[in-house]
Amino acid sequence: MKVIRSLGRAIGATVIVAASAGAPSLAAQATKLVAEPAQITLRTGDSVRITVKAVDAQGREVPGTVVRVFGARRAVAYSDGFVRAFQAGKHNLVAFAERDGACGGNDCAPLQMEIPVTVTWPALAKLAVVTAPRRLYTGVTIEHSVKGSHADGSARPNLVANWRSSNSAVATVDRFGNVRTVAPGSVTITADAEGQSASVTHTVAANPVASIAIGLRDTTVRTGDVIQLTATGRRANGQVVGDVTFTWSYSYVAADTVLPSGIPGGAGIVQYGMFTGNYPGRYTLMARSGNAFAERTIEVKARDARRPIVITGRGNINHTHTSDLWPWTGKDGRDYVLVGTWGGDGYGYVYDITDLNNPVKTDSVKIDARTINDVTVSPDGRYGVLSREGASNRVNGVVILDLAIPAHPKIAATFNQELTGGVHNMFATNDYLFAVSGGAKYVIIDVRDIYKPKYVSEYRHPNARLHDLWVHDGIAYSAQGGVGTIVVDVGNGKYGGSIEKPKLITTYELNSGHEIFPYFQKSTGKVYLFIGDEEMNRSNRVWAGTSYRNEMTTPGGVPQTSGGMVHIVDFTDPMDPKPVGRYELEDFGSHDIVVEDDILYQAFYEGGVRLVDVSGQLMGNLQHQGREIAVFKPYDPKGYTPNAAFVMNAMPWKGHVLFTDFNTGLWTAKLAPKNLAP
């Protein structure tokens, strides 16, 4: 059995080939696909083996047929013959098999089938009501929610409860858990869900607030700027009332510049005691508590962060697909970039980018791999690393490069201990390399002597599919499908972990697990996590996209499509993370993420390379707020797939932007001054 891994950082599925290595890749006699079992039912967290094969008109298996199986990454995943469930509901696996011209005429259409998968949640074992601990006065509204967990302690997402009040004369509760106080007294609010109940009791007092004063520091801001909502309640004698719950809302009058095209979404957002305006205009902010009411009008002006982006150079790669890149300054004082290839028979390339108007390829490195999905270089430029997938012996692992002569790297060592499942992503520090092993765990390697790398430790999280990780200040942040974001102390020490004994700090349950980047924002002191979805299956969207057929592997094939957004989470307190924003484009999917100096450098696949202003506090969809600085889609009629942008990676470098495109190779660009045409 030969195994071929999937697209770069793009696909969570494994490609299976039901033939020996020397067999033909496609079978003309195949007439349909069959699956065993034909449909699947399982619980979240469980996995089951499935076999999909091509058969002829008589039902006999046809050898040599390549069958590819894909699932919606957030719900069900396929890998190495197993289906794993992450999210309850009714889903489909999709299987494809191409057929060659020998099948004759119109009968050569690709074979396709859907395999129904029904996923159920385990029984709910525990329920808790969550609300802010505060004194309640009459005439206010306070939110309540529920947290549910299973017997193993895992959380139940998207839980819907039935709410009831013990005394509606004191307080009512709606189906969303919003409690509205009516009169003084005691009241118990109860939530019921799937046979479990939880309650909280409140004592409601008469509201002493007679007047409200709204305090705002700024009354003229830009779209996307976040305003802290502050107000003071006073008694009739002017005395300040502490611990008052205010209900905030707003009204909106659009600016003239907005009216001709209309408003594409919600004008503003009120959340976490903050407000931001998505579109220009006048917003009247209103605070209420009991019978007291106050309002204040502010002006929100267009942010308009746009600047022209100018292409300065190219490193054309059109004979195969291009994957990742990593720039560095060599020991000789010149600048270089290491570039990987997908399906490129194990070739990595080195370019001299000292002159960013004229990248020059200086050398190539050949290793035993079908795909070099990830490349990285240590911060000190001492060593580089190429990841391996699809090695001839299926051992894979990483190849460590000596960069003493940066234009011409030489192989220092190959390391594969505990890395036999294929290495998809890596992160390098000066002394240690973190390598993702087969999507199951990350292995920490001592590379202080790059010619004698040593296994140090590893971290594996249960019931998760690891894809990407980034290490900052001794803390490893990893994106793991089925669980979300996993945060581990790998040397910070504050949370009891070390490089030898990694220790879990916390998990953040997010229905996404592909790319991740932690960013410390100097101006606010906040830590934001940027977490990318990357969904290669666009089913159930208005634009359903192309399918997985030959577009990835055949020159001149069909352009690839993707979906998914970038989630933005305020992770300043890792024990209390808050989902505050996103960067979402309906027709395109997110990939690699880097943030530097308040600019998001986003590889957005067929949406191109995108630079986005992420200065100040963040809230809402950045795309609505005029925060986009520049976009470039690398079309090339001579690309591996012609005129099909599919940007894999983007990084800032000395005032420029470097990015790799799946179909056309390496590009260099820079921003021009605002309002200056390229």
User: What is the structure's pLDDT at 551?
Assistant: 58
Q: How confident is the model at residue 7 (pLDDT cuts 50, 70, 90)?
A: very low
Distances (CA, A) of 67 to 14, 30, 75, 343, 549: 10, 11, 21, 17, 10
Cβ-contact 414, 369 below 8 angstroms: no
pLDDT digits (tens, 9 = 90+) for 216-239: 988 999 999 999 999 999 999 999
Cβ-contact 375, 386 below 8 angstroms: yes
294 vs 482, more confident? 294
Pick from 103-107, 314-318, 361-365, 492-496: least confident = 103-107
CATH number at residue 189: 2.60.40.1080
- The mean per-residue pLDDT over the stretch 362-372 comes to 96
Cβ-contact 270, 250 below 8 angstroms: yes
User: What is the structure's pLDDT at 15?
Assistant: 38
* pLDDT reading at 523 higher than 90: yes
Asked if residue 128 is part of any domain, the answer here is no
The strand pairing partners of 473, in sequence order, are: none
User: What is the structure's pLDDT at 21?
Assistant: 38
* Same domain membership, residue 236 and residue 196: no
Distance, CA of 554 to CA of 98 (rounded, Å): 11
Six-digit token string for 138: 């009459």
Cβ-contact 634, 578 below 8 angstroms: no
Nearest by Cα to 663 from 313, 314, 318, 361: 318
Cβ-contact 628, 306 below 8 angstroms: yes
For Cα atoms 486, 574, 609, give the angle at the middle one, nearest 5 degrees: 65
* Same domain membership, residue 354 and residue 274: no
* Same domain membership, residue 569 and residue 480: yes
Domain count, the chain: 4
Edge-to-edge order in the sheet of strand 66-70: 2-4, 15-17, 66-70, 89-97, 111-120, 40-43
152 vs 643, more confident? 643
Asked if residue 95 is part of any domain, the answer here is yes
CATH number at residue 292: 2.60.40.10
Edge-to-edge order in the sheet of strand 230-234: 211-215, 230-234, 240-241
Asked if residue 133 is part of any domain, the answer here is no
Cβ-contact 508, 577 below 8 angstroms: yes
Asked if residue 595 is part of any domain, the answer here is yes
Rounded to two decimals, the pTM is 0.85
Edge-to-edge order in the sheet of strand 155-156: 124-130, 145-150, 155-156
Distance, CA of 657 to CA of 154 (rounded, Å): 41
Cβ-contact 566, 530 below 8 angstroms: yes
* Same domain membership, residue 433 and residue 319: yes
pLDDT digits (tens, 9 = 90+) for 550-567: 556 678 888 889 999 999
Give me the phi and psi of 32, to 5 degrees please: -165, 170
DSSP classification of residue 658:
E
Distance, CA of 270 to CA of 424 (rounded, Å): 40
* Same domain membership, residue 273 and residue 351: no
The strand pairing partners of 405, in sequence order, are: none
SS3 174: coil
Asked if residue 129 is part of any domain, the answer here is no
- The mean per-residue pLDDT over the stretch 535-555 comes to 74
Final residue of a structural domain among 256, 272, 301:
301
**Element holding 507 (H helix, E strand):** strand 503-509
* Same domain membership, residue 320 and residue 228: no
Cβ-contact 289, 207 below 8 angstroms: yes
User: What is the structure's pLDDT at 426?
Assistant: 97
SS3 106: helix
Cβ-contact 591, 9 below 8 angstroms: yes
Place of tokens 């601990």: 133
Cβ-contact 391, 364 below 8 angstroms: no
Asked if residue 116 is part of any domain, the answer here is yes
Q: How confident is the model at residue 24 (pLDDT cuts 50, 70, 90)?
A: very low
pLDDT digits (tens, 9 = 90+) for 598-634: 999 999 999 999 999 999 999 999 999 999 999 999 9
Rounded to the nearest 10 degrees, how much is the dihedral formed by the CA atoms of 584, 337, 348, 552?
20
User: What is the structure's pLDDT at 170?
Assistant: 98
Residue 603: give the domain boundaries.
Answer: 309-671
pLDDT digits (tens, 9 = 90+) for 570-590: 999 999 999 999 999 999 999
pLDDT digits (tens, 9 = 90+) for 43-85: 988 889 999 999 988 989 888 777 888 877 668 888 778 898 8
User: What is the structure's pLDDT at 177?
Assistant: 97
- The mean per-residue pLDDT over the stretch 422-427 comes to 94
Final residue of a structural domain among 301, 321, 346:
301
Asked if residue 430 is part of any domain, the answer here is yes
Longest dimension (CA), the chain: 92
Concatenating the DSSP letter of every residue in 349-383 gives: EEEE-SSTTS-EEEEEEE-S-SB---EEE-TTSSE
Q: How confident is the model at residue 96 (pLDDT cuts 50, 70, 90)?
A: confident
Percent of the chain topping pLDDT 90: 72
Distances (CA, A) of 296 to 48, 252, 434, 586: 59, 12, 52, 34
Edge-to-edge order in the sheet of strand 647-653: 309-316, 665-671, 656-661, 647-653
CATH number at residue 507: 2.130.10.10
* Same domain membership, residue 255 and residue 194: no
Cβ-contact 245, 140 below 8 angstroms: yes
Final residue of a structural domain among 249, 280, 301:
301
* Same domain membership, residue 595 and residue 497: yes
Distance, CA of 608 to CA of 671 (rounded, Å): 15
Residue partners of 567: CB distance under 8 A and separation at least 6: 510, 512, 529, 530, 531, 532, 533, 579, 582
User: What is the structure's pLDDT at 133?
Assistant: 86
Pick from 172-176, 379-383, 394-398: least confident = 394-398
* Same domain membership, residue 333 and residue 247: no
Residue partners of 208: CB distance under 8 A and separation at least 6: 137, 235, 241
For Cα atoms 161, 167, 169, give the angle at the middle one, nearest 5 degrees: 120
* Same domain membership, residue 631 and residue 598: yes
* Same domain membership, residue 28 and residue 168: no
- The mean per-residue pLDDT over the stretch 82-94 comes to 87
CB atoms within 10 A of CB 496: 11
* pLDDT reading at 290 higher than 60: yes
* pLDDT reading at 105 higher than 60: no
Distance, CA of 203 to CA of 9 (rounded, Å): 53
Cβ-contact 325, 8 below 8 angstroms: no
Nearest by Cα to 67 from 18, 105, 31: 18
Considering just the CA atoms, what is the radius of gyration of the chain in Å? 28
Cβ-contact 636, 644 below 8 angstroms: no
CB atoms within 10 A of CB 674: 11
User: What is the structure's pLDDT at 548?
Assistant: 54
* Same domain membership, residue 651 and residue 586: yes
Distance, CA of 223 to CA of 204 (rounded, Å): 39
The strand pairing partners of 41, in sequence order, are: 118
Residue partners of 87: CB distance under 8 A and separation at least 6: 44, 74, 75, 76, 119, 157, 511
Distance, CA of 220 to CA of 282 (rounded, Å): 9
* pLDDT reading at 286 higher than 90: yes
Asked if residue 19 is part of any domain, the answer here is yes
